[in-house]
Structure formats: C-alpha cells, structure tokens
Amino acid sequence: MVTSTEGIKDARKKKAAVVSDNGLCSEIGRNTLIRGGNAVDSAIATTFCVGALNIHSSGLGGGFMMTMYNKKYRKCSTIDARETAPLATNEKTFASRPQDAFIGYKSIATPGEVHGLWTAFKRYGSGRIAWQDLIMPTVNHLKTGYPVTKLMEVNLNYTKNDILNEPTLRNFLINNNTNDIYKEGEIFRNPVLAETLRKLATSTDPVRLFYGGEMAQQIASEIFSNEGFLTKRDFEHYRSIIDERPVENDKFSDSLVMCGPKPPSGFAVVQFIVDVMSKLYPKGSVDGDTLITDEEFYHRLAEAQKYGYAQRTLLADLRFQPNASEVLSKLTSESFVNEVVEKIKSSEKVRDLSDYGIQLEQPGKQGTSHISVIDTEGNSVSLTSTINNVFGSRRRSELLGIIWNDQMDDFSIPGVKNFFGFEPSKTNYIAPGKRPMSSISPVVIYDKKTGEVKPMIEALKSRGHNMTVYSFPFATIQAIVRNADGSLSASTDHRRPVYMNPAGY
C-alpha cells in the first residue's frame, strides 16, 4: 500500500496504477489489475471498497458517474448512475419543509450504484475476473475489521451531533470501548454491510436482487415505515445510462482531448472554463513558476468560473429539459468561448452578477469520493461516487447496513433560496424519475497522436491525481488548466489537503 507523497513518486515506473482516497481500496484495485482485470474491473472493485470503508462519502446507498477511455479505439464512453427522484415527488414536495430534502428519509433518492456497477461489468469488464471476486475482498475487510482513516475521523467529528441524535448511526458509529466516536487507527467492523455485499457478490443477477427482489422490498418497507418517498416501484424503474457519445473537447489544446459526461454532470462547465483559460494562457506564453503566484491568473480563473456557472443554472437532466441541450451546445461552442475570453480581457475588474447571467451555484458537498485507474493497455477510468452530503441523509438501514443518500437536496425548490441567497433554478426542479444537477466531473484527458492518458499519468507522478477530489470542480479545473497551458504539472490545488492513496505495479 502506498500512503505517502514519496511513494507516489515511485508510481511513475509502474505498468498501471489505481488512485482512491483509501489505501486498502487502492490495493484491491491494483490486485484486480495484477490478476488480469482491466481498468473497468479495477474501478468496480475499488468503488465497492471505498463505498464500504469510507461510508461517510459513498456506497450502495448513493450513485456515481464514470468516464471510460479505450486506448485502442481512442474512444470515451460514460455511465450515469446518478440517483433519481422518487415517483411520488414533484417540484412542490419540499416547498413547505425544505429541510426535509437535506436530512432524513424524505431526502433519499433512488440509489444507482449497484445498477451502474453491474452495467459497467457486463458491458465493459474484461471477462477475466468474476463478479464476486470484485466484491469479496471488501467483504473480508468488513468482517475482520480495518483501521479508521484520518479522513473518516474528520467526517465523524463533523457530523457528531447528528450521529448522537440518530439511533441508526449512534449504535453503529460509537466505539463501545471508548464510548465515543471512532478515532483514526481504531479498528472498525461492519458485519451487516458485509452480509449485504456477500449476497450481491454471489447473486447471478445482483440488479434483480437489489432493484426487484428481496432487498428492494426490504428497503422500500424500511423507508416507507419512516415516512420516506421511495417505493419498490422506484427501484424497479431505475436504469443507469450508457452514453457512447459523451462531451469531448479537442480545442483547448493542440495535442490533447478532454472527455466527460453530459449533464446532469458538471463536466460541460469544467471543459468550458478550461477552454477559456487555455485561450487566455496559450501554451508557452507564460512561465509556470510565475503563473502559480500570479494574482491575475486566479482572478481570471474566478471570472471564467462565474461565466461557466451562470450557464450551469440553465442545465439539467437532458431527458426532462430538452432546452438544456442548447446550453450544452453553447458551452462547447468556440464562438461563446471566444466571446467570454474577450470580455475577461477587456475588463479586469469584478463585474456585476447580471453581466454573467444567473448564478445559483449551490454550497459544496463533501460526501463524495473519486477513483482514477490506468491499466496495462493504457485504458483509463475516472469515476466519482457520492451520497451527496457527509453521511448522506444521516440515516442507515439497520437491516442492510447501507447509509442512504440525501440527493433530493441537489434539486432546486420553488420559492426557496439556496445557500448563497439566490433564487432557485427552474430547470433543476424536482420531477419523478429526474436526476438532479451535479458538480461531479469525472474527466479523462488523452493525447491525440499517441492515445496515452498523459495528464493522469503525470498526476500519479506528483500529488495523487488531477480529477475531482472535492465535491465541487475547482481543483479539477485548476489541475487541468495547469497542464493544458504547458506551464504547470498536473496536481490538485497545492493549498488543499489531499487524502489520496495510489497503488501501482
């Protein structure tokens, strides 16, 4: 297991590598590659592990988005396993009690993780690794116990009051030996979740089990008895979405291509901001050491983000808001990028909000995790999984050991201002079966000529990885910009804490 920056430097000599925010999980992903699995197999195994060991950030009760890159065909594909609004909800559901969208059983949206991972396995897996072999290593950790990480301790402290006031969490997250929440290094076990994962691992059809069988009925009954909105019908109707024609941008660099999911992912905004910054700072136009300390650079980056996020308020689940496709086209058009570049150049002062368009960016969420994988064939996966806020809805299934998401909080509510005091975005109102907008931006960047995923490899050489580590894409944008301009190496923002644990071979 590699757990230090010094260890990351050694990863550049490896044939393949896995990066997650849990060292044990990175090892599981690496071992999957060693046994002949591809990047998708490894990402699946790592995702199951991170969701089980870092229960504050992701898991079976949440969802994910993933971007896959096939080097042989130089092709990107995506899977949207984002959570969906229960069929019993609509735009007025939380109008009188908006706090119910943030915490409690009413805040739970239909989870997509199991469906999405099974879809990835059947469609893109190598076929050389059995499904159960991707899950059982995690089951063993849950049974025998594993040390609590610093990241988990930080999040336990952050939510301590909610944990103490919620029986399904208090009885689970309090160490009986100390009568306090678990601390870094203490051994944590989760036998109930281990059994749930074992059943999924040994099932010939885990999607049917989770979304239409025994588990679906258990989940629906448990949530209904606690006045939540999810029913078995919601699980039966859930589908993850494969997209063989995701968003791609080859204009931001002479030699690189950047790809990622369509909305409700935030990638459309990310690629737009990167495109703007790459035109403001063409390759070789400025020394890297100068740029990293240049106040104008950060001012311009902030301005580019404002223009991008103004358009984000008009984006939504494309199946429910067809007009959002026009906004997507605008964000990927060279003419709009050039227009914004000229506006930023012509005025180096902070503009009024009306100059950018409506800006309704929601507060950052921390219940999110990211995984990056490169296999020996040069294929790559960038996957961001989430239960939304830390410990999601702050509710846990005592039958299955699953901590549920609070993804309903990612929708806009009519008449309710967001964290920053702005009015809600109409395109992001709740509708039955709809996916909420997200800042999730799993990015893959590859070289046009060689097909190599060069920026991701450079990231493994330096600080962990250059994809979304945080709940909002600022670190993602800054990392990509620093590569695209040819001046700075890929890394997460050097001023932010990094909890990444790579493993390679």
Q: Concatenated DSSP letters for 192-231?
A: HHHHHHHHHHH-S-HHHHHHTSHHHHHHHHHHHHTT-S--
Query: Maximum CA pair distance of the chain?
Result: 63
Answer whether residue 496 is part of any domain: yes
Which helix or strand (DSSP H or E) is residue 81 part of? strand 75-81
| pLDDT mean over 277-291 | 76
Q: Strand 367-374: give its sheet, edge to edge.
A: 241-243, 75-81, 63-70, 380-388, 367-374, 17-20, 501-504
State whether residue 373 is helix, strand or coil: strand
pLDDT at 483 over 80: no
Q: Which amino acid is at 339?
A: E
pLDDT at 346 over 90: no
Domain count, the chain: 1
Query: CA distances (Å), 316 to each of 228, 385, 441, in order?
Result: 24, 19, 14
Answer whether residue 469 is part of any domain: yes
pLDDT at 493 over 80: no
Given a contact cutoff of 8 angstroms between Cβ atoms, the answer to whether 45 and 35 are in contact is: no
| pLDDT mean over 297-316 | 91
Answer whether residue 60 is part of any domain: no
How many angstroms separate the CA atoms of 42 and 33, rounded?
6
Answer whether residue 344 is part of any domain: yes
CB atoms within 10 A of CB 86: 24
Place of tokens 């297991």: 1
Answer whether residue 276 is part of any domain: yes
Radius of gyration from C-alpha coordinates of the chain: 22
State whether residue 125 is helix, strand or coil: coil
Answer whether residue 93 is part of any domain: no
pLDDT at 232 over 90: yes
Q: Which residues pair with 146 in a beta bridge?
A: 188
Q: How far is CA 424 from the centre of its chain?
A: 23
How many angstroms separate the CA atoms of 405 and 382, rounded?
21
Share of the chain above pLDDT 70, in %: 80
pLDDT at 461 over 50: no
Report residue 275 as tokens.
């495109």
Catalytic residue among 47, 84, 110, 368: 368
Answer whether residue 413 is part of any domain: no
At 298 the pLDDT is: 84
At 478 the pLDDT is: 58
Q: 116-130, 163-177, 259-273, 361-375: which has the minimum mean pLDDT?
A: 361-375
Answer whether residue 294 is part of any domain: yes
CATH of the domain at 319: 1.10.246.130
Is 368 tagged catalytic?
A: yes
Task: Count the residues in the chain.
Answer: 505
| pLDDT mean over 441-453 | 93
pLDDT at 372 over 80: yes
Enter the pTM of the model: 0.88
Q: Which residues pair with 385 in a beta bridge?
A: 64, 369
- CB neighbour list of residue 112: distance below 8 Å, 6 or more residues apart: 62, 63, 64, 80, 81, 82, 83, 84, 238, 240
- CB neighbour list of residue 174: distance below 8 Å, 6 or more residues apart: 163, 164, 180, 181, 182
Share of the chain above pLDDT 90, in %: 71
Mean pLDDT of the chain: 85
At 477 the pLDDT is: 60
Region of 397 please: left (phi>0), alpha (psi -120 to 50) or beta. beta
At 348 the pLDDT is: 63
| pLDDT mean over 144-149 | 96
Report residue 234 as tokens.
């919601």
Region of 401 please: left (phi>0), alpha (psi -120 to 50) or beta. left
- CB neighbour list of residue 259: distance below 8 Å, 6 or more residues apart: 67, 69, 76, 246, 247, 248, 249, 443, 444, 445, 446
Q: Which range marks the domain in which residue 254 is found?
A: 247-364+441-504
